[in-house]
Amino acid sequence: MSKTSKLITNLIDIVTLLNFRDAKSQSGESIINRSLRLVCKHVIVNRLFGGVAVVLSLMVALVMTGAFSVTTLLRLSGGLGAFYLLCLAVLSVVFFKLIVRPLVSVLNREKIALLIEQKYPSLNNALISSLQLTKSRGDAEKLHYSDQMVSMLVDDTSRKLKQLNMQVVVGRKFLLFGNTLLIFSVLLFGAVYAFHRASLDKNIPLFFSYLSDRGEIIRGQFATPTVPVIGDITVSYRYPLYSGMEPKTFYNTSGNIKALKGSEAQISATTDRPLVSAKIIFNESTIIPLTVENNKTMNGVLQLLENGSYCFEITDSRGNVTRDQALYMVEVLPDQTPHVSIDTPAKDLVVNEKDVVHLQYNAKDDYGLTEISLVYEVRNEKNARALSRFSKRQVLYNGTYKWSLSELNLQPDDKVAYYLEVKDNDTISGPKTGTSATYYLEIYSSRKKHQELIQLQESLVKEALRLLSDDLVNRVDDERCASKEYLLMRQDIIKERVGIINRLFTDILVGMQEDTIANYSVYYSLENLRKKFRDVTEQKQEAIQKSMLSVADDNVPVTMLTELQLLQDAEVAEVEDMIMFLNEMIQKQKLDEVIDTGKDLIQSQNTIEQLLNQLRETGNMKLNEKALAELKNIENMIQQMMMKLMQMAQSEHMDEFLNADAMKGIEQDNVMNDVNEMKNALKNGDFEGALQAAQRMLSSLQKMMDQMNSASQGLTDSFYSDSLKKMDKALDSMSELENKQRALAEKTEELKKDIQERVSESMNETLKSFFEKQEERIEAVKRDIEGAKEYLAKNELLQEYLQTKQQLQQFSEQRGMLPMNRFSDLFESTEEPDMSKEEAGKLSELTRKNAELNREINRDPLQRDFLYVDKELPQTEEALSHLKEMMKGKDINESLELAREVAQNTNHWNNRMQESLELKKSEGEEALPQEESETAQKIEDAAQQSQEIVRDLESMTKFLDQHRMASMNQEDQEALQQYAEKQGEYKNETDELMEMLEQLSKQTPFMDEDANRQLEMASNSMSGAKQRLEGQDIPGAVIEERESLYRLAEAKKGVQKAKEHVKQGMMGEGMPMPFRGRMEEGQVASTSEKVEIPSEDAYKVPKKFREEILDALKEGLPEKYKELNKDYYQRLVD
């Protein structure tokens, strides 16, 4: 049989096998056929798909090769057609060798059976034998075996095949190889396309365009295309010199151009036909000639100044002029505007006129900086100063600058606007300018700060008036308040108003810490006003809350409402007093402010007079301009003063100080006429007339200042002097009471000593042995404590912890991290001290070490006890030392108090240690170290000895009291009764003083409640002394009398302190308080005039004011409050 016949037979056999569909038959032959069919399918799929993947991978590679070499192939006659044939031949060979030939060689039953037996040698050629015997079964001559034997072989082979997995007979290596190669080829093509997209977008269509010419490849004629082909475009860039960029060349580009403005693009391109000339047409208008080299290469230069497009136009050797249909884009990249920013301070600041502002800034540009300048504007005059200039290329710069404001001759209230300006090195379009954000420096003005605080005080008065209106309208005893819900709703409105007032108080007090003009007494007055207001409002709110909790339903009893109304009446009275005081205090501050302005006026007038004298002598016209400017300033100040005075004169209580006569006197002086006369004289060059007008103006200003000073003096006298009178009266009464109380205490002390001497004489030996015994016990306690102290000093863990804690505390105090003055509790501060990296690291290390040592100590309860003992030890040693001295002086009562203190401490130590020892035993810990055990035992001994001392002293005290009572005669008892009566009289005098100070405190916010509180404690001590004197407890009476003397002295200090506050206020000087900041102006005006004592009704609430309040309860609301209340409730609704 020929090879062709055999091949056809095999193909038919394979097709028959593939079409075998007897899937349900379980005969041996069917099973064998199904196995062969499955393996045959796997062979075809593996080889066919793997081969196709390889062919596709090769096609991708050939396309990339052709795309990159298309311009070269076009130069060769017939080169592109030859490349097509080469690609077709390569693909055909690969297809035949990898797909056709392998499939043909393997596609017959015997070879498939051999594949199966190669995979499974356990078949022992049974499968191939079964196929051959089955095939020969019809030919009796060739078959040497019986059908039964063949059937048995086939059945046995089929059983073995059923147990084998035919899916794994054909390996998948070739299929995986083909797929991997295809994936790699596609990824490679994608990567190349990403980097050469423009070139491939043009060359690939060009590569396949040859196929559009029908029959060229078939005929094998490689004729030149009729349309010229331009390719292999190379672009070389030469950038502007200022950019600092090196020239770059890009080969085989798409022809599109993209570069910095001002760059030069040197273009080189190749065509497929001989050239005579060529040119570039830019934006359809500009013609750029090109030079031709080697008949096919053209070169030229394009200046990049604007965006657009270009194309090639060529003239071939036949004289044909052809324009390339492709348009190539030109994109000009602009030089970006430089950027500059201020990093520090990067915010508006309030500074002094001589401060130094530290600027930190950064600037950057894409190609280079040339200059950075600081631009600032003061009083509409703009200036600039260069901070940095760059001669070399600098694209990024970080700089600092210390800006001294003293060079600018700034004045308080001046405002400086500033920003940074940066220029780049663009020489093509010209330097571009970038600016930072604009920030402002406001020159600190103590006067402006003071005015803002006065405005806050006025806001406080307005809020207090609203609260007063609410309290008057929303009475608690109103029948509507019988509803619990309604009462709470109305009180919530009042409570909100109270919160606003408290916040205003705090804002004012905080602001006054930096106010250099603030009066010393005003601060403490406001502080006391706030405390009184807070106390009375909190008392009412707490009472309402407590009462409402006791009300089960919505009905509030009338008796409860009546009690609550009494508290609200107290609130109303306090608010009334606060409003009257604040009004007068604000008017006084405003008048002082006007007087300060007047002093500035006189200073400006003196300046003008000096300028006029210089102008008359020198004739310098620049001085004339300065004089006119100063006159304008004076005119503005006079207008401001007159406006403020008119406003103040309209106030309810200022008309008696700023009366109509005073205002007329100011007008009659014709200050403004003098100013206008000076202005006209200066314009006309009459310097002598201007000088005379200036002298008249000075006289007028001085008269005006005298009148205002007189008004201020009268207001000051009314404001302060009545308080001083009452304080002096209270101090005299307190001094007299103190002397009488001291005399009574001395007499009681003498009687005590006399009785003690009598008792001591009768019990001299007994007391001597008693005190000797107690001294021995004290020495024993002292030895035990000293022993414990020695161990604690040797305890390394405790000492290291204490040392670390001390270092941490010292570090914090040095850095100002702890409160250092008494105002830190009143005003919360969120500022943290500046700290260097080294200091922060040290603090972190100390904190970490302290925490570790603390954890280690806490692991051992006994170590915690030792630490506690170490902390309390100095106080106990001091008490023990005092106890020893009292024992030597044989003072039983003092000794008993000290002994109890020592016993309390040592017992507490011992109890803690015993609990810790029991805990360690319960946890099964080993025996304590000897030193720890001995220390615990010493503490226990000290506690026992201390308790013995206390018990003996208590017994001796009772024994001595019995003897003292027995030794007292009739004369002693009568003396005690007289002392008790006198003590009662002194207590009544103290109570009267308390009422006096309470009234003074209500009328005068200079008084705080400390003095009254001290008097109350003095009264309680006097009451206790009286009871002890009546009970013949002389030692107890002596203690109470000493306590009352101490409290009287403290009360006197409180009144004297308030008196000093008033004196400071009368002096009219800024308050020199320790917490005031350092921000000041060059000069601060002050007054130091003497004051006179005013009338005694200075602080009396006007009768008319109270009548209006009472009428409001009957008729509605006083007229002055109606609009205020209307506005308030309207805002609540909105």
Helix, strand, or coil (residue 1090): coil
d(CA 779, CA 657): 76
The pLDDT tens digits for 472-510 are 878 888 888 888 888 888 888 888 989 999 999 899 888
Helix, strand, or coil (residue 891): coil
Output the average pLDDT for the chain. 78
Percent of residues in the chain assigned helix, strand, coil, to nearest 5: 65, 10, 20
Q: Count the helices and strands in the chain (H runs, E runs).
A: 29, 19
φ, ψ at 329 (rounded to 5°): -85, 145
Least confident span in 152-166, 620-634, 1094-1108: 1094-1108
pLDDT confidence bin for 698, thresholds 50/70/90? low
d(CA 664, CA 645): 12
What pLDDT is stored for residue 1059 in this prediction?
A: 77
d(CA 1032, CA 1019): 20
C-alpha dist (Å) from residue 841 to 790, 835, 853? 35, 10, 18
Q: In terms of Cα–Cα distance, which of 934, 940, 932, 803 is closest to 860?
A: 932
What's at 1019, amino acid-wise? Answer: S
What pLDDT is stored for residue 75 in this prediction?
A: 65
Least confident span in 399-413, 568-582, 823-837, 934-948: 823-837
Residue corresponding to tokens 């409050």: 1121
What pLDDT is stored for residue 370 in this prediction?
A: 92
The pLDDT tens digits for 799-858 are 888 888 888 877 776 655 443 333 333 333 334 445 566 777 777 888 888 888 888 888
Least confident span in 174-188, 416-430, 841-855: 841-855
d(CA 1134, CA 918): 69
pLDDT confidence bin for 644, thresholds 50/70/90? low
What pLDDT is stored for residue 671 in this prediction?
A: 65
Q: What is the mean pLDDT of residues 932-944?
A: 88
What is the distance between the terminal CA atoms of the chain, rounded to a whole angstrom? 112
What pLDDT is stored for residue 6 in this prediction?
A: 65
What pLDDT is stored for residue 1111 in this prediction?
A: 47
What pLDDT is stored for residue 503 in this prediction?
A: 92
Helix, strand, or coil (residue 1124): helix
CA angle 1116/1117/1123 to nearest 5° reads: 135
Sign of torsion over alpha carbons 1035, 1040, 1044, 1047: positive
Least confident span in 115-129, 634-648, 1036-1050: 634-648
Share of the chain above pLDDT 90, in %: 15
Least confident span in 49-58, 156-165, 219-228, 366-375: 219-228
Helix, strand, or coil (residue 183): helix
Residue corresponding to tokens 């406080």: 460
The pLDDT tens digits for 888-923 are 877 777 888 888 888 898 898 888 888 888 887 777
Residue corresponding to tokens 């009328």: 1003
What pLDDT is stored for residue 589 in this prediction?
A: 77
d(CA 530, CA 464): 12
Taking 90 as the threshold, does the pLDDT of residue 398 lie above it?
A: yes
What pLDDT is stored for residue 773 in this prediction?
A: 85
Share of the chain above pLDDT 70, in %: 77
Q: What is the mean pLDDT of residues 19-47?
A: 74
Give residues with Cβ within 8 angstroms of 87, minimum separation 6: 59, 62, 66
What pLDDT is stored for residue 830 in this prediction?
A: 39
Least confident span in 339-348, 611-620, 648-657, 867-876: 648-657
d(CA 1044, CA 1058): 21
What pLDDT is stored for residue 834 in this prediction?
A: 52
What pLDDT is stored for residue 437 in this prediction?
A: 94
The pLDDT tens digits for 249-293 are 999 898 999 999 999 999 999 988 888 899 999 998 899 999 998
- The 3-class SS string of 253-307 reads ECCCEEEECCCEEEEEEEECCCEEEEEEEECCCEEEEEEEECCCEEEEEEECCCC
For the chain, the farthest-separated pair of C-alpha atoms sits apart, in whole angstroms, at 169
pLDDT confidence bin for 167, thresholds 50/70/90? confident
d(CA 566, CA 570): 6
Do residues 792 and 870 touch, judged by C-beta distance below 8 A?
Answer: yes
Taking 60 as the threshold, does the pLDDT of residue 445 lie above it?
A: yes
Do residues 1003 and 577 touch, judged by C-beta distance below 8 A?
Answer: yes
User: Which range scores top for mean pLDDT: 529-533, 621-625, 640-644?
Assistant: 529-533
Taking 60 as the threshold, does the pLDDT of residue 955 lie above it?
A: yes
Distance of alpha carbon 725 from the chain centroid = 52
Record the pTM.
0.42
Give residues with Cβ within 8 angstroms of 79, minimum separation 6: 72, 73, 222
Q: In terms of Cα–Cα distance, which of 592, 629, 606, 612 is closest to 411?
A: 629
User: Which range scores top for mean pLDDT: 92-106, 492-506, 788-802?
Assistant: 492-506
